[in-house]
Amino acid sequence: MLSDAGAANNSAIEFWFDFSSPYSYLAAEKIDALAASYQRIVHWRPVLLGAIFQVTNAAPLVNLPLKGNYSVRDFSRSARYLNLPFTMPSKFPLPTQLAARTYYWLCERDVDMAHDFARAIFRALFVHDRDISDLAVVCDVAASMGLDADTVSLAVAQPEVKARLKNETDAAMLKGVFGAPFFMVNDEPFWGVDRLPQLEKWLATGGF
Amino acid sequence: MLSDAGAANNSAIEFWFDFSSPYSYLAAEKIDALAASYQRIVHWRPVLLGAIFQVTNAAPLVNLPLKGNYSVRDFSRSARYLNLPFTMPSKFPLPTQLAARTYYWLCERDVDMAHDFARAIFRALFVHDRDISDLAVVCDVAASMGLDADTVSLAVAQPEVKARLKNETDAAMLKGVFGAPFFMVNDEPFWGVDRLPQLEKWLATGGF
């Protein structure tokens, strides 16, 4: 269906997420294959949901009355529905700036490796229950991909790397991002892993 | 797949909703046919989301920063995705106790007619943009089904009818209902019209 509007349709899919968002982990396992089916690339953009929630006056799902208990159940069920492994982390939610900074630092060097790192961080947290707020764990995940742990330790402390994450989070809010995962295709916003079917229909039909 | 666990599987589907919830309207158009495919009946239970939000400290979607604008867009897109007509009401959100009380009053007399009335109220609001908080509109919808408008006017003022709605809302919260639409199948909770695919898989497989 890449007909008349083919050129506009081939723009990238923006994918905003926070490494501590279970639904973002599920989306991260699915989005690249979905995009590839429609000849799209994906721009992965980790953000800090905590900073966004301060502006929008929101709170982490699991802290909300009634909704919190439901959400934990829904995380696992949604993972089973999508045939993905999932373990509720023992430390949750947790700070994700070290993982996100490492992602952006890597992204400037090798985008594909940065995506692999992002998937490895998500799996460390949501499959292997590792504490990804710990610099040693982030470095260990990076080292498993052949990166030098000391270089990563220095990178996450660099002012320009810190600024990049802050700027990406601010830019996301300006685009209307209020939660995660959040996608944008040709200015059409989709929030939640449960909107992937609508996103796919959008790609297949050029909008509906 | 109604095999060994057939007896337990044939219990009803509970369906909680608020007449002013767009996603509830979409779910209301789909749930009976879905349930019938798996030999289930549906217990429709209107509640007052406003009363639930007071307890859970939540707010109507459209009033939330960033999320509000997205939601209005998502209401329409979700309707198109599900092939249902949808008009964003000019008065929204609005009080729904008169419609909900009429539903419970009717339900004691004729369950099928009560379901028809619920669907007619949803369509009055979300297709024809009528003000269903107005008693005259509620009576008009009831009259179009052959009910006597004066009888309905008296019914919604009856203390036992008012108490029924309050009790149903309290009972829903005790079951963990925090939003709408909300479904329960054999104690498994599903929140949102976007969980109907998971609910269907649950019915088809007896749990997954």
What own/partner pairs with CB < 8 Å and gap ≥ 24 does B129-138 have? B129/B87, B129/B89, B129/B90, B131/B91, B131/B94, B132/B19, B132/B20, B132/B94, B132/B96, B132/B98, B132/B99, B133/B91, B133/B94, B133/B95, B133/B96, B133/B98, B134/B98, B135/B98, B138/B98, B138/B99, B138/B102
Judged by DSSP in three states, A166 sits in helix
ipTM above 0.90, yes or no: yes
pLDDT of residue B9: 53
Indicate yes or no: CB of B189 within 8 angstroms of CB of A80: no
Number of C-beta neighbours around residue B169 at 10 A: 23
R_g of chain A computed on alpha carbons: 17
Q: Which two tokens stand for residue A59?
A: 């709170």
Q: Are A46 and A165 in contact (CB under 8 A)?
A: yes
Count of pairs with CB atoms under 8 A, one residue in A, one in B: 70
CB B50 within 8 A of CB B165: no
Q: What is the 3-state secondary structure (H, E, C) of B53-89?
A: HHHHCCCCHHHCCCHHHHHHHHHHHHHHHCCCCCCCC
Flag whether the pTM goes above 0.80: yes
CA distance B104 to B162: 9
How far is residue A15 from each of residues A147, A175, A177, A199, B186, measured CA to CA in Å?
A: 25, 12, 10, 12, 36
B33 DSSP 8-state letter = H
Q: Do the Cβ atoms of A56 and B67 come within 8 Å? A: yes
Q: What is the C-alpha to C-alpha distance for residues A183 and A44, in angstroms, rounded to an integer? A: 10
Touching check for B58 and chain A: CB below 8 Å?
A: yes
Per-residue pLDDT of chain A (208 residues; tens, 9 = 90+): 334 444 445 789 999 999 999 999 999 999 999 999 999 999 999 999 999 999 888 888 888 888 999 999 999 999 999 999 999 999 999 999 999 999 999 999 999 999 999 999 999 999 999 999 999 999 999 999 999 999 999 999 999 999 999 999 999 999 999 999 999 999 999 999 999 999 999 999 999 9
**Cβ of A43 under 8 Å from any chain B Cβ?**
no
Contact yes or no for B66 and A173 at CB 8 A: yes
CA distance to partner chain A, nearest, from residue B5 (Å): 20
Secondary-structure percent of chain A, ordered helix, strand, coil, rounded to 5: 55, 10, 35
For the record, the structure tokens of A56 come out as 């929008």
User: Edge-to-edge, what's the strand order for the sheet holding B182-185?
Assistant: B42-46, B13-17, B182-185, B188-191
* Contact predicate B103/B118, CB 8 Å: yes
How far is residue B203's CA from residue B34's CA, in Å, rounded to a whole number? Answer: 9
3-class state of residue A155 by DSSP:
helix
A93: cis peptide before it, omega within 30°?
yes
Task: Tell me the pLDDT tens digit for each residue of B163-188.
Answer: 999 999 999 999 999 999 999 999 99
Interface of A with B in 86-125 (CB under 8 A): none
Task: Mark yes or no for CB contact A208/B73 under 8 Å.
Answer: no
CA atoms within 13 A on the CB side of A151: 8
**Does B195 contact A194 at a Cβ distance shorter than 8 Å?**
yes
CA angle B125, B129, B133 (to 5 degrees): 55
- Comparing CB atoms, the residue among A65, A80, A178 nearest residue B56 is A65
Query: Rounded to an integer, what distance in angstroms lies between the CA atom of residue B27 and that of residue B40?
Result: 16
A176 touches chain B (CB under 8 A): yes
Nearest of B89, B86, B117, B87 to residue B101 by alpha carbon: B117
| Exposed / middle / buried, residue B145 (Cβ in 10 Å: 0-12, 13-18, 19+) | exposed
Instruction: List the domains of chain A with CATH numbers.
Output: 14-205 (3.40.30.10)
> Which ranges constitute the DSSP H helices of A82-195?
97-107, 111-126, 135-143, 149-155, 159-174
* Regions of chain B where pLDDT drops below 70: 1-9
CA distance B78 to A195: 9
Structure tokens at B45: 């239970």
- The answer to whether B81 contacts A201, with C-beta atoms less than 8 Å apart, is yes
* Closest alpha carbon within chain B to A183: B70
* Integer Cα distance of A47 and B36 in angstroms: 44
CB contact (8 A) between residue A178 and residue B64:
yes
Residue A9, pLDDT score: 53
